Amino acid sequence: MEHIELKASPRQKMTKGELNKARKSGKVPAQLYGKEIEPVSIFLDRDDFASIARRVTESMIIDLNLEGKKIAALMKEVQKENISGEILHIDFNLVERGHKIRVKVPLHLVGSAKGVREGGILEHAIHDIEVECEPDVLPEKIEIDISGLEANHALHLRDIALPERVKLLTNPETVIAIIKFARAEVEKPAEPEAAEAEGAIPEQAAAEGTSEAVQK
């Protein structure tokens, strides 16, 4: 399991103006939470975090190096400015060795489904699941082989095997993926000539009926 290390520095209580000034200098305010600790306020280097941000998921443990002391944590929330996308604040949860944690783990579908090769359309219903386990067995992702999935069939969570000591918390009846066939083409309207021919029959009948009425 990959660990990412980020340097962190202590952060004292600051005013909103002081925090904005710190952000402009390249610092990102963050907070570390734990069950049996008081919240710890820290700063991260904006460029350091940006270099790993794209590949970090909720299931990836980050080692925060705070003045030489490594603290294992999970990233829980990243607050960004709506327009510019600037990172305003990050929340971390402390990871305690020997204690179970609840985490969302991404699902990755691999392989070419049989149903797709036959013309079906793959629908990926969910992209992550919630699990409970100890930090040392936490999977960064779960790969699911869908090569044998046929058209008009669905793959459920109950159908996959999780790593040892990893407990599934999401409903096992949840559909992961399903293959459907595209809807049949809508019937084409009748050709104009055919429509005219069909319309001529009642018109002729009406004419004959009028002629009979005149003769009477």
Q: What is the pLDDT of residue 94?
A: 93
Domains of the chain: 4-96 (2.40.240.10), 102-180 (2.170.120.20)
pLDDT at 183: 55
Per DSSP, the residues of 60-115 read SEEEEEETTEEEEEEEEEEEE-TTT--EEEEEEEEPPTTS-EEEEEEEEEES--HH
Instruction: Please count the other Cβ atoms lying within 10 Å of the Cβ belonging to residue 163.
Output: 12
Mean pLDDT by 10 residues, the chain (216 residues): 85 91 94 90 94 84 93 92 90 90 94 93 94 92 94 94 95 96 53 50 47 46
Q: Is the pTM of this model over 0.85?
A: no
pLDDT given for residue 189 in this prediction:
53
Write out the DSSP string of 174-207: -EEEEEEPPPPPPPPPPPHHHHHHHHHHHHHHHH
